[in-house]
Amino acid sequence: RIDVFSGTRNKRTFIFRQKSSSNVFSMFEQSQIQEFKEAFGCIDQDRDGVIKKQDLKETYAQLGKLNVKDEELDEMLNEGKGPINFTVFLALFGEKLNGTDPEDTILAAFKPFDPNGTGFVNKDEFRRLLMNQADKFTAEEVDQAFALAPIDPTGNIDYKSLCYIITHGDEKEES
Ligand SMILES: [Ca+2]
């Protein structure tokens, strides 16, 4: 059995560094990684640490889908460009979730500032929020964000629009 967290990890991480310039494990919260690990364990039916066609077939069968085509399974497996161990699995999900998840996270972070769900927050509170999040913004970066922000004359920010700009803007920089 392959232990993805010891022997093979450094090698895989290196491959993904080259590919996306960031460590796939750093893209997720510890709790998310735990959830992915459980999902991986469910799919890896024979528990050899790698997802193969037979694993997918059995997983689909358990979900009641018995007529999945071989080509569809091949396509999924080919996405990994190699054996799908947990690190590769995480990277595949990471690519799919990257860009949407940070947006949800930011929107969720705004909720306490917007109890009535108006979609607007005061810009001074917004500045505090950005500078205290996990991905701390500097004052300069906040000013840059404000330059993009739709702000009304009373100083309220349309944060839903702004979250979109921030998260999708980041995506552009990475590629
Ligand atoms: Ca397997």
Whether the pTM exceeds 0.85: the reply is no
- Same domain membership, residue 130 and residue 86: no
CATH of the domain at 167: 1.10.238.10
2 within some domain: no
pLDDT in tens, 51-82: 999 999 998 888 888 888 899 888 888 887 77
Cα 50 to ligand 1 centre (Å) = 5
CA–CA separation, 68 vs 132, rounded Å?
47
Domain count, the chain: 2
**Per-residue tokens: 146:** 């404000």
Q: What is the span of the domain harbouring residue 48?
A: 9-97
pLDDT in tens, 15-35: 333 334 346 677 777 877 888
What is the share, in percent, of the chain residues with pLDDT greater than 70? 70
**Domain edge (last residue) among 97, 130, 162:** 97
Model confidence at 128: pLDDT above 70 = yes
**Domain edge (last residue) among 77, 97, 117:** 97
Longest dimension (CA), the chain: 62
Cα 52 to ligand 1 centre (Å) = 5
- Same domain membership, residue 73 and residue 24: yes
Model confidence at 44: pLDDT above 90 = yes
pLDDT in tens, 74-112: 888 888 777 889 888 887 776 665 544 556 666 776 777
Cα 7 to ligand 1 centre (Å) = 18
Cα 43 to ligand 1 centre (Å) = 8
